[in-house]
Amino acid sequence: MNTITTAGGTLYHLAASQLGDATQWIRIAQLNNLSDPILQGVVTLQLPPTNPTATGGLPVGY
């Protein structure tokens, strides 16, 4: 599992750049026990492995 340190930003941008899909921000949030996609200050986060079949934050068939 990878980690990343970032200063501010959003989990949307992080998911897009690291996982290739902004809708997978929820996977990062769940792994790091976060509920808000807006990041404050400097944070170090664990990143889940890339999973192209994950549905991210959208229900299947949305």
Provide the pLDDT confidence category of residue 53 given band limits of 50, 70 and 90.
confident
Residue 24: CB atoms within 10 Å: 25
pTM attached to this predicted model:
0.83
Residue 48 or 60, more confident: 48
Q: What is the mean pLDDT of the chain?
A: 88
pLDDT of 33 strictly over 70: yes
Question: Is the CB of residue 32 less than 8 Å from the CB of residue 38?
Answer: no
CA distance 52 to 6: 23
pLDDT at 56: 58
The secondary element (H helix, E strand) that includes residue 62 is none
